[in-house]
Chain A
Amino acid sequence: MTHAAAAPANLLLVLLKARTFIALILVFAFFAFAAPNFLSTANMVIMSKHVALNAFLAIGMTFVIISGGIDLSVGSIVGLCGMVAGWLVLYGIDPGLGWSIQFNTVEICLIVMLVGVLIGAVNAFLVTKLNVAPFIATLGTLYVCRGAAMLFSDGRTFPNLNGNPEYGSDTFRLIGAGNVLGLPISIWMLIVVAGIAAYVARRTPLGRYIYAVGGNERGAALSGVKVNRIKFFVYMFSGLCAALVGLIISSQLVAAHPATGQSFELNAIAAAVLGGTSMSGGRGRIGGTIVGAFVIGVLSDGLVMMGVSSFWQTVIKGLVIIAAVVVDQAQQKLQARVALQAEAGK
């Protein structure tokens, strides 16, 4: 009798668990009908490039949120890292002695990634050693980084980041424009980063500890988890993801603008939440986040193609996020009930 009653609940639970994916298919199907050219290869490539940017940030954000924190600074890190990249491509490092150090593309990428990781480390330092609430700590670095990005160029854009073949930096453009096996390089990067992140989350002690710290920090600490180390990792990884986005955007535009990345952090949080990440920590999956990023990206690009006003787009995006969380609550309730029943039956 118990089993008969449990069957429809289990089916419903499967459907609820796959809800983000189902939503993606529905959104996709809708635009395939409603927006001409939506399914064209060109549009698919453009769209996935858009999605990739948000997906990078959302992956980093997912780890931070699972660990019980939040990283509001990623949008600003995107902007700052773009400016650092632009500066390095245009000027190199000039110590003011009449000569300068120039870098090739790989070196530029490594330096920019290092900048992102270091800002993440500052976030983690504030959160762990100085006990600043993550929301406040990263809100602080959000402002600092944005201001620093503006200071680089007095708020102006670095144009024409074509690089110099002499220094080996002319390949900088390829990060955003190049293709390998018919896919843009940024998509390949996303596949690699997402793959690593998903592996870390599911198959490494580090990943398990991230969940444990977010679920119960005290309990994790008493189980021998080095909580501070875990937090350093998640914020530094989030900084790294943001640095990658800064590189890709400045390369795609062949220019670096200090206001780039404004409010990107909100899109990243939205993608994570859509993908089933719990804002109170301890729960979330990389795969879910990627699908969440796709739902948001497909939705906004599709609405643009249909000619819906950007004001309405914003409203619709907000409603989708709220709906996602409401459904998530229902899933959690049902899941808890099914588990309780199973255990009570023992």
Chain B
Amino acid sequence: MTQDIGLQIRGGTKVYPGTRALKGVDFDLRMGAVNVLVGENGAGKSTMMKVIAGVEQLTEGQVLMNGAEVRFHGTDDARRHGIGIVFQELNLFPNMTVAENIFINREITRGRIDIDMAAQRRATRALMRRLEHDIDPDAMVGDLRVGQQQIVEIAKSLAQDARILILDEPTSALSAAEVEILFRVIADLRRQGVGIVYISHRLEELIRIGDYITVLRDGAITGARSMAGVDVDWIVRAMIGEASRDFAKDIDHPYGAEVFRAEDVTLPRAGGGMAVDHVGMSLRAGEILGVYGLMGAGRSEFLECVIGRHPHSGGRIFVDGKQLRTKTVAGRIRSGIALIPEDRKNDGLVQILSIRENMTLSSLAAFTTGFHMNLGTERGTVRDFVKRLTVKIASMENPVSSLSGGNQQKVVIGKALMTRPKVLLMDEPSRGIDIGAKAEVFRTMRKLAAEGLGIVFVTSDMEELMALSDRIVVMSNGRVTGEFDRKDATETLVIAASAKGHAPIKESAA
């Protein structure tokens, strides 16, 4: 089958001061199809999409729509041509309701002045029905989970009758059930003739949903074809030039004694009920424990209880067999626990500070005598960790915000390791980083475990879970609903356990 080409880029080059982000790319966007776009971070995917969405203009080359050259001056202009984009970083107003967000700047009005709230609410409800979500139009966006916010973003584009819809990593924050719904929506849109551009790092997902695939490397297109016959190996080869996806490589080593145990951990939910409901697990030195579950299963909240973020949480935490008395984050860190949060940008890093200052933030005591910090020792230690974790940086004095996602994650890992933890808690450690960096993060995890560190990691990626875990704990609705040794675990068993206590697919709204 051949679809109409709705938009083309010919010889597209984009030069930023000092770098060429796109080097003469030719791209065809087919209507009524899912055009998958893949490449490592910094390969130029986002730049290309920004050009299509009118955020950036090409330095050289043309954008053609239906054979005629177009130039978009801003996103509004692109939107008038029927192009909608859902950015990876959500662009929503947390202080406004769902309906207000969806109709922002295109409010339904009576006489151009009075906003017709009822009509907006009705339209929002209709959109949510189409997306199979029952998010209340009057809910504050800030109160929604990230996955639900993503749905709102997609609804916003749908409300604008986009003919071309660009989705930049739409599933990175969605649970398995939410992904299924999204895929149905995408299939539906495709039938209606919408041209979809789909960017993701989850390769299986791409193969499943894509009709056409375009692979970018270093600003150039290294592969473009119909999806038929494409497999993971082919994509990886096109992306990084060699077949290497070896993060599952086993390092066999004996486990040590129990380093960490949690008993009866509870956290009340704001609206009643339990976000974490009497959860317990134990971990031995050198072991990697994978915690799987759907969005909202209470996994992140459990880790937050362990690190001491919620002073009103209940339960007992043991490190090396000794129960911890301290309830503060600083005390827990001193006791040998470290957390790598899911939300790198808001929880993991202080964006405005330098790489060095971020890395040492949790362990300044190590460089301090009395009041005095020894900046030389600090720099030395940072240099060591940068080397050990192979963080690619030009200078440790640059702001951490100038790094790619993968390198930022390594800075967060470095920060955690500098506190000399016995237990490392990692919440979605591979979220939003490219496959090369992902493999490196996983190798690092394996290496750390081999050195005797106990690791608890939360993931929503089944393949990651199976490849990395020595043992698997499944959570659902705040409870532990399954525990498996790796050799006994199968995807079916794990998924069945993760659905316990949930009505199929439909999730309770926040």
Contacts and interface: CB of A to CB of B under 8 A. Distances in A.
Q: Do A and B bind each other?
A: yes
B346 interface: yes
Interface string A311-346: 000000000000000000000000011011111111
B309 A221 contact: yes
Contacts of A307: none
B402 A218 contact: no
A324 B357 CA distance: 27
Interface string B405-449: 001000000010001000000000000000000000000000000
Interface string A192-219: 0000000010011110110110011011
A226 B17 contact: no
Contact of B399 (A9, A224, A339): A339
Contacts of A345: 18-19, 394
Contact of A221 (B16, B329, B360, B393): B329
Contacts of B364: 205, 208-209
Interface size class of A (residues with CB under 8 A): 35 or more
Interface string B322-339: 000000111011100001
B357 A219 contact: no
Nearest to A221: B329
A294 to B, nearest CB: 26
Contacts of B329: 221-224
B353 A346 contact: no
A226 to B, nearest CB: 6
Given A215-B351, A344-B42, A336 B402 contact: yes
B352 A205 contact: no
B372 interface: yes
A222 B425 CA distance: 12
Contact of A222 (B309, B353, B360, B407): B309
A34 B351 CA distance: 45
Given A5-B18, A203-B375, A346 B347 contact: no
B19 A344 contact: yes
Contact of A283 (B352, B362, B392): B352
Given A205-B368, A222-B307, A343 B394 contact: yes
Contact of A219 (B307, B347, B407): B347
Contacts of A336: 399, 401-402
Contacts of A218: 346-347
Interface string B451-471: 000000000000000000000
Contact of A2 (B18, B351, B372, B401): B18
A5 to B, nearest CB: 5
Nearest to B372: A203
B222 interface: no
B349 interface: yes
A215 B395 contact: no
A204 B368 CA distance: 8
A60 B405 CA distance: 36
Contacts of A222: 307, 309, 329, 339, 341, 347-348
13 contacts: A5-B17, A206-B371, A208-B357, A211-B350, A216-B352, A219-B348, A224-B334, A225-B361, A336-B401, A336-B402, A343-B403, A343-B407, A344-B19
